[in-house]
């Protein structure tokens, strides 16, 4: 089996490191970065623990802190589309997707020549940045985008986008026979109406009866602002027990 994981800081390792860029080299701490602190991060976050429990031959952690659901869909499709196009065997893969907050956004900046990951008060450049710190305050280009976006759109719009993103990726996995499992940063029940909830229940969510939707925050793992080192091990164990035994320990039951 080969494991693919994607998400935001809950999967990347938020609170374990002070920045998404290396303090000394300015390199973005993504899956391909070869600095030692990033190798450590990849080995202590839950995708690696889950990979070990499942005896996977390889694992991928393409998450990034501040990453939006747009980014999760973009990077996941970028990973799998070439493999499908080249007729690789997709049944070897398990994709575990940790959905992020629906209001987060990204846009490709011609000015910065990279994807910019933004929320209401900060911008992350998805590329190497010489110097320190990497948590850029929005510059004038960002401010124009942020002012327009967050004044124009609202929770209703972002909820609809997330509903579409869940369906897009869920149908992509099912159509191409890729094993997958969904979880989230926040509980989807607070965003969707009953009809939408009934529709997305057909996808594979971490949970025992598809009546409950377990976010990382509702798993009962050790956390500060994000999962701790122990919390990442506990997340992996919960996923493993569910995948192998369909076992869910429900500390915070939520009935739809």
Query: Please, are residues 236 and 53 in contact by the beta-carbon 8 Å criterion?
Result: yes
What are the boundaries of each domain within the chain? 2-104+144-245
For residue 235, pLDDT beyond 70: yes
pLDDT tens-digit profile of 70-87? Answer: 999 999 999 999 999 999
- Residue 122: the pLDDT is 75
Q: Any idea what the Cα angle at residue 200 is, between residues 199 and 205, rounded to 5°?
A: 150
63: pLDDT confidence band, cut at 50, 70 and 90?
A: very high
Query: Please, are residues 180 and 213 in contact by the beta-carbon 8 Å criterion?
Result: no
Lowest mean pLDDT across 93-97, 210-214, 218-222 = 210-214
- Residue 187: the pLDDT is 79
Task: Please compute the mean of the pLDDT values over residues 33-40 and round it to a whole number.
Answer: 97
Q: At what angle do helices 69-85 and 155-175 cross, to 10 degrees?
A: 20
DSSP character for 25?
A: T
Model confidence, pTM: 0.92
Burial of 153 (0-12, 13-18, 19+ CB in 10 A): middle
Query: Please, are residues 117 and 67 in contact by the beta-carbon 8 Å criterion?
Result: yes
pLDDT tens-digit profile of 114-145? Answer: 898 887 777 888 998 875 554 555 677 777 77
- Rounded to an integer, what is the distance from CA 79 to the centroid of its chain? 14
pLDDT tens-digit profile of 172-198? Answer: 999 999 999 999 988 788 889 989 988
Q: Across all residues in the chain, what is the average pLDDT?
A: 89
pLDDT tens-digit profile of 83-97? Answer: 999 999 999 999 999
Picking from 74, 80, 129, 81, the residue whose alpha carbon sits closest to that of residue 106 is 74
Give the CA count within 13 Å in the CB-facing half-sphere of 203.
Answer: 28
Report the Cα–Cα distance between both ends of the chain, in Å, rounded. Answer: 33
- Residue 249: the pLDDT is 61
DSSP character for 91?
A: G
The top-level CATH class assigned to 2-104+144-245 is alpha beta
Task: Please compute the mean of the pLDDT values over residues 56-60 and round it to a whole number.
Answer: 97
110: pLDDT confidence band, cut at 50, 70 and 90?
A: confident
- Residue 188: the pLDDT is 83
Lowest mean pLDDT across 6-15, 50-59, 211-220, 231-240 = 211-220
């Amino acid at each position: 089996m080969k494991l693919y994981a994607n998400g935001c800081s809950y999967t990347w390792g938020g609170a374990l490191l002070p920045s998404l860029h290396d303090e000394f080299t300015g390199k973005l701490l993504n899956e391909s970065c070869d600095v030692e602190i990033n190798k450590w991060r990849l080995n202590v976050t839950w995708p690696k623990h889950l990979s070990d429990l499942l005896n996977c031959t390889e694992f991928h952690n393409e998450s990034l802190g501040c990453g939006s659901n747009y980014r999760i869909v973009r990077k996941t499709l970028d990973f799998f589309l070439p493999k499908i196009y080249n007729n690789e065997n997709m049944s070897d893969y398990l994709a575990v997707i940790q959905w992020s907050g629906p209001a987060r956004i990204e846009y490709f900046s011609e000015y910065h020549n990279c994807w910019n990951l933004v929320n209401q008060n900060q911008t992350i450049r998805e590329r190497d940045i010489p110097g320190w710190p990497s948590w850029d305050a929005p510059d004038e280009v960002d401010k124009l985008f942020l002012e327009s976006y967050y004044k124009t759109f609202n929770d209703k719009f972002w909820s609809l986008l997330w509903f579409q993103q869940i369906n897009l990726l869920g149908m992509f996995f099912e159509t191409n026979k890729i094993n997958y499992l969904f979880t989230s940063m926040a509980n989807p029940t607070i965003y969707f109406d009953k009809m939408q909830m009934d529709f997305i229940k057909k996808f594979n969510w971490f949970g025992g009866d598809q009546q409950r939707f377990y976010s990382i925050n509702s798993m009962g793992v050790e956390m500060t602002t994000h999962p701790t080192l122990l919390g990442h091990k506990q997340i992996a164990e919960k996923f493993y027990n569910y995948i192998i035994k369909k076992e869910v320990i429900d500390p915070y039951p939520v009935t739809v």
